Structure 1
Amino acid sequence: MKFSKTLVFSTVLAAGATLAFGASDVNADETYTVKPNDSLSKISMKFAGDNSLVNKIAEDNDIENSNMIFVGTQLTIATDGSSSNEAPVQQEAPKQESAPKQQAAPKQTSSSKQSSGESSSAKAWIANKESSNSYSATNGRYIGKYQLDSSYLNGDHSPANQEKVADQYVNSRYGGWDAAKTFWQANGWY
């Protein structure tokens, strides 16, 4: 019975391969749907391995500005070197997708501000309170300069990992070192 299943599966694969190769001879154009962060250059790299198709894709798909394509647009890519007469239907990205991108930028800006100035003094203040600035300090399961739970460090107690994990922890829990310091002052821990 196992042999018959293998034989049937092999036959189906062979038939599918034959159809696939036969179909590619009939129509060498491919349809590609634009994904987030795509550009004509990236699409050209996918199909040709270089930027040689950028102008051809723009021309074949009636794209006026080759620096502006929209997510969800169906592009026809002529892979045999000839033009296609089909024009794509260009669709703008839904309004919902643009809104989060606009909101994400201020968050990145504020977190970069939090890593300097007052927040660096708050970070130093916490490190002094927690371990007297010692990367090798331990207190039960709490390790290092910021007395992080050992499970957060995943066995890597290096100073670089302690700094990285402490920043991630503080930013995700408090939104920055200043808020962590305020919490520490109110509770005796952060």
Structure 2
Amino acid sequence: MKSLQKILLGTTMALGFGIFGTTVLADTLYTVKSGDTLSTISQSITGDNSLINSIAKDNNIKNIDLIHVGQELNIKTDGQAVAAPTNYVEPTYQEETYTEPANQETYSAPAETSSYTGNSSSAKEWIAQRESSGSYSATNGQYIGRYQLSSSYLNGDYSPENQERVADQYVADRYGSWENAQSFWMNNGWY
């Protein structure tokens, strides 16, 4: 009898996968890629933002605005069949090395630009102008400085050098490049 149950269950599951195509039951393992947010991941799975808090809770994410490329997220769907994320692309990894910059006595900000010309420095400056008018001392609630980074990212060091370093790392982790961050900002009004 158990053998017959296994055969029937296996056949039923095979037919179900054939009929319903790319559906996911129960839990899904999702690998974060450049540009992902909990909101975009939830949108790709359920079509709305209903999974943001549960993804954060289930994966011990303390700051829902901070996920990292390559991070694997367990996404629970409470046993309901939902469409698999359509934008999933297996991430590629490139090993990076960090070298501490040489001591600098002064810092000069990049020259202001009024329009986007297509390179990283102009995209970076474009975002800085929209976020803070280029001011390292601008504040907006918990958001600090030229790139309006969360104070938790800056760890109490609001120096221009740290703001630049943290902003570059944030954009690299989240978007892959300043051009991608600018494109996201243009579509959403924030980055």
Q: TM-score, normalised by structure 1?
A: 0.40
Which structure exhibits the higher relative contact order, with contacts defined as CA atoms closer than 8 Å and separated by 6 or more residues? 2
Asked which structure has the greater CA Rg, the reply is 1
- TM-score, normalised to structure 2, is 0.40
